[in-house]
């Protein structure tokens, strides 16, 4: 692989590749071994766990995840209107705040001590975090609906804008959108932008893989239905994770794919939340599938 390739290129998605070689090793093992890095300064190896945090059973269906201070993260259970503050040093919940009734809550961001929660139908809820254990959240209605199946919520500090990720359909008002769209909500103007910030299509993924590949693969099996998004604290790129498709991709503000990471299902059975720690380490949360939910921490590698 040429050293002039512009960015981290990690191609080895288990469900994507169909190899033209015979090998006695299991298919999953072979796919996981295809780990290629070139260019760029930061990288993560999703097969190497820095730390693992098992969550209380109340977070069996953990979904959204965001940083809250240097050593704490905030998360939600996608069936219950509560946020949970988890201390990474104590490895336990230190606070829970109820903000609403039952519902399909999928994303969370905390901005200047205001918590924003995304529901799968596109509604946003927000409230100030205080010592209260129960609050009345305000609601923001957007043009999105349950057909869009929103699952990811991020924050763009440069434009003071929330980023809402469609796992389902991307269209609004029957306006055609190619791929999975990311919409913006301007917090200064309190205005939803009906044109996507960007979208990721199968065509985009195929073109990226064609440029980066060093193995044959089945382009027809490419699947990417994102369930989480987070902004990297150092390079300003968006990391988008998909449980459906077991893929993490890295894009710039224009939605141009910069890197791809195959997600090992043996480590992350149903990844839905992602955030970064101040040191650049990455946290990914996964539902427990009948057991406890958990988070995995991955160490950031600085490439020379």
Beta-carbon contacts of 31 under 8 Å, excluding residues fewer than 6 positions away, are 12, 13, 14, 17, 262
Q: What is the average pLDDT across 29-57?
A: 70
Could you report the per-residue pLDDT of 94-105, keeping only the tens digit for each?
A: 999 999 999 999
For residue 38, name the pLDDT band (cuts at 50, 70, 90): very low
Q: What is the average pLDDT across 199-227?
A: 78
Higher pLDDT, 251 or 5: 251
Statement: residue 33 has pLDDT above 80: no
Higher pLDDT, 209 or 238: 238
H runs (alpha helix) in 69-201 = none
Contact (Cβ atoms closer than 8 angstroms) between residue 158 and residue 171: no
- DSSP code at position 26: -
Q: What is the average pLDDT across 77-81?
A: 88
**pLDDT (0 to 100) of residue 240:** 96
Residue 224 token pair: 């990417």
Domains of the chain: 27-302 (2.120.10)
Could you give the percent of the chain with pLDDT greater than 90?
64
Distance CA 197, CA 183 (A): 5
Contact (Cβ atoms closer than 8 angstroms) between residue 71 and residue 88: yes
**pLDDT (0 to 100) of residue 255:** 94
- Average pLDDT over all residues of the chain: 84
Contact (Cβ atoms closer than 8 angstroms) between residue 83 and residue 114: no
Strand (E) or helix (H) holding 203 = helix 202-212
């Amino acid at each position: 692989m040429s050293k002039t390739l512009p960015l981290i290129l990690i191609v080895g998605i288990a469900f994507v590749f169909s190899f033209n070689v015979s090998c006695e090793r299991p298919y999953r093992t072979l796919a996981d071994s295809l780990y290629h890095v070139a260019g760029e300064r930061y990288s993560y190896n999703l097969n190497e766990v820095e730390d693992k945090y098992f969550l209380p059973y109340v977070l069996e269906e953990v979904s959204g995840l965001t940083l809250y201070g240097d050593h704490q993260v905030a998360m939600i259970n996608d069936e219950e209107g509560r946020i949970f503050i988890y201390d990474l040093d104590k490895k336990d919940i230190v606070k829970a705040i109820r903000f609403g009734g039952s519902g399909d809550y999928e994303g969370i961001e905390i901005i200047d001590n205001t918590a924003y929660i995304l529901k799968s139908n596109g509604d946003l809820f927000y409230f100030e975090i205080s010592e209260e254990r129960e609050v009345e959240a305000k609601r923001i209605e957007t043009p999105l609906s349950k057909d869009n199946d929103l699952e990811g919520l991020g924050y763009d500090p440069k434009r003071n804008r929330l980023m809402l990720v469609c796992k389902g359909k991307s269209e609004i008002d029957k306006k055609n959108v190619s791929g999975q769209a990311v919409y913006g909500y301007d917090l200064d103007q309190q205005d939803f932008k009906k044109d996507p910030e960007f979208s990721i299509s199968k065509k985009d993924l195929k073109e990226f893989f064609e440029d980066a590949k060093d193995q044959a693969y089945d382009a027809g099996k490419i699947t990417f239905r994102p369930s989480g998004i987070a902004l990297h604290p150092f390079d300003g790129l968006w990391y988008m994770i998909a449980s459906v498709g077991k893929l993490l991709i890295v894009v710039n503000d224009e939605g141009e794919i910069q890197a791809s990471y195959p997600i090992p299902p043996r480590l992350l059975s149903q990844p839905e939340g992602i955030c970064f720690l101040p040191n650049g380490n990455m946290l990914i949360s996964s539902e427990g599938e009948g057991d406890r939910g958990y988070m995995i921490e991955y160490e950031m590698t600085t490439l020379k």
